Homo-oligomer: A and B are copies of this chain.
Amino acid sequence: MIPGPTNMPDRVMNAMQRPVINHKSEEFRELHRSVIEGTKYAFQTQNDVFVLTCSGTGGIECAASNIVSPGDKVVVPVSGVFSQRLKENFERFGATVIEIPIEWRKAATPSQIREVVEREENVKAIGIVYNETSTGVTMRGLDEVGKIAEEHGALLVVDAISILGGDRLPVDEWKVDVCVTGSQKCIACPPGVVMVSVSERAWEIIAKSRRGSYYFDLMKCKEFQEKLETPYTPAIPLFYALDEALKMLKEEGLENRIKRHKVCADAFYDATQTLGLTFFADPQVRSNTVIAVNIPQGVEDKAWRDLMLKYGVAIGGGLGKLKGSIIRIGSMGIISKVEVNETVSVLGKSLAELWKPVDVDAAIAAAEKVFASSS
């Protein structure tokens, strides 16, 4: 129950056993075609999409390094570890980042972004972490930001690593120019591959940009993808796994998966609150995939997480300046009532030992109520 990697369906794990084929063969091209098709469905896009062998941060480097040339101006609201990382990636490739500092429990609003983009001139891109995994906060109004970007000739670059498949993100409808997601979160595939989409407007910029990374050069990816190949040897077992995971997404239906994430998150929020706990995120922008819970006074972070682990549930700790003050529950991928109730039960049991008596039955009942009203 950490905020990714998530638990894996057997079908996805078994897919990795298929033979490691020649990545320049017809068989690979067929696999690649299927993965691309599945990714376009997940992204709800007709844009080009690419699958890269790397972890999520590699996907962010890909986005940043292809878009900016030294001196370009980029606007990034920073409200946690991953938006800080997005900012640093743009800077590493020479961008001047106009940071919008945001209280960590909140998210930037479209009007805050509009104001900065209008004040600054020639903004090349707006970089948004849609779901800040470190704080359990999802930005709302991303579709508005897409309009702002287009109006001002800027690109909208979205880090959707811990949310795509778990909340709405219709890439084309919302005018997202470059969208990055990971395999190991709501897609329920092992880590090691990322998916990146690129709009027509983004291609115009990329073709003329400095493209500071060799490995992540999207022009090279595009050239090879025309033959359904990758420029460098792909992680073939992970391509099989991703293909299977994307097929499972298609079978469930994107809308259904998003609803399932929302219901499980609501159940988590209600149950956890019933245990007497409070949340880090502002309720208006709380995430449907990462539940950030404040550690109650008197409870020690590591002792709590270790005890939960002893009872069979792994959860995440706080990152950066939140280390020791919050825990994070990942509610992603193949999450269902079973995992929610088990986690709530272990949360309660451990709190009863480390903190004070809590009503686990009432908490489970609160979760059950959410599940009942959703079906």
Contacts from A to B (Cβ < 8 Å): 2, 4-8, 13-14, 16-17, 19-25, 53-58, 60-61, 64, 88-89, 92, 182, 184, 190-193, 212-216, 231-238, 241, 314, 316-317
Contact: B190 with A20, CB < 8 Å?
A: yes
Contact A56 B25 (CB under 8 A): no
Complex interface: chain B residues within 8 A of A215 (CB): 54-55, 57-58, 60-61, 216
Are B57 and A232 touching (Cβ within 8 A)? yes
Least distance between A25 CB and chain B CB atoms (Å): 7
Q: How far is the CA of A64 from the CA of B89 in the complex (A)?
A: 18
Residues of B within 8 A of A234 (CB): 55, 191-192
Contact in complex: A233, B56 (CB < 8 Å): yes
A selection of 30 A-B contacts at a CB cut-off of 8 Å is A5-B233, A20-B184, A20-B191, A22-B316, A23-B191, A53-B53, A53-B58, A53-B191, A54-B54, A54-B215, A55-B235, A56-B233, A57-B215, A57-B231, A58-B232, A64-B214, A89-B214, A92-B212, A92-B213, A182-B233, A190-B236, A191-B233, A191-B234, A191-B236, A192-B192, A192-B236, A192-B238, A212-B212, A215-B216, A235-B235
> Knowing that A8-B19, A60-B215 are A-B contacts, what are 11 other residue pairs whose CB atoms are under 8 Å apart, sorted by A's residue number?
A5-B22, A7-B20, A20-B184, A53-B54, A53-B55, A88-B214, A182-B233, A191-B234, A215-B216, A235-B235, A237-B241
Alpha-carbon separation in the docked complex, A39 to B180 (Å): 31
Given B61, B191, B231, B232, which contacts A235 in the complex, CB threshold below 8 Å? B191
Q: How far is the CA of A7 from the CA of B20 in the complex (A)?
A: 7
This chain: copies in complex? 2
Contact assessment for A17 and B17 in the assembled complex, using a CB-CB cutoff below 8 Å? yes
Q: List residues of chain B with CB within 8 A of the CB of A17.
A: 13-14, 16-17
B190 touches A235 (CB 8 A): yes
- In the bound complex, residues from chain B placing their C-beta under 8 Å from that of A13 are 16-17
Q: Are B23 and A5 in contact (CB under 8 A)?
A: yes
